[in-house]
Amino acid sequence: MSDNRQSLSDLAELTGQQAAQPAPAPSAEAPAEAAAPPPPPVQAETPLREQQLDKFGRAYATGRRKDAVARVWLKPGSGKIEVNGRDQEVYFARPTLRLVINQPFDITDRKGQYDVVITVKGGGLSGQAGAVKHGIAQALSRFEPALRTTVKQAGFLTRDPRVVERKKYGRAKARRSFQFSKR
């Protein structure tokens, strides 16, 4: 029993708290204020990072996926997303690609609150959609630093490192051999 009390007091010392000890019976001499525990310290919610905006009040970020690179400008607005001068429904005609692009807004409950202007180049449509998603997530975390943990836990801030393997000499493709002919 004494070992448990000793380990609890050691644990309390490590965490900086008082060990739980039986309270002495209040006497008539002790003031009533001393019996009440002190209030816990109040910590102000301060973001670890600052908001990063340009002179026009926009957040800028770069997103990458495969060979695609997307430059993203994000500002408060009506939810209009413009990709390379065209509407997102025109540029990304497949609904799955539009779903990928809007994932950062869906997970942070910010759908329809920001206007986004994007220029994207390189790669195919799937890689470009992944790059846009990465860029939007980065820009959101720069515009609202409080959203960073939500976006980070979803894995949207991490650049997907998978790229196409290069072709080697003596091979038909990256790993495929030329067809073998016995005769």
Select the more confidently predicted residue: 42 or 112. 112
Convert the pLDDT of each residue in 49-68 to its tens digit: 888 899 999 999 999 999 99
Select the more confidently predicted residue: 9 or 74. 74
- What's the pTM value of the predicted model, to 2 decimals? 0.72
**Percentage of the chain surpassing pLDDT 70?**
74
Whole-angstrom Cα Rg for the chain: 28
Whether the pLDDT of residue 48 is over 90: the answer is no
Q: Tell me what pLDDT residue 183 has.
A: 84
- Could you confirm whether domain 59-153 is CATH 3.30.230.10? yes
Of 33-37, 67-71, 166-170, least confident by mean pLDDT is 33-37
Between CA 74 and CA 135 the distance in angstroms is 10
Convert the pLDDT of each residue in 81-126 to its tens digit: 999 999 999 999 999 999 999 999 999 999 999 999 999 999 999 9
Domain boundary assignment for the chain: 59-153
* C-alpha separations of 94 from 70, 89, 132 in Å: 18, 8, 15
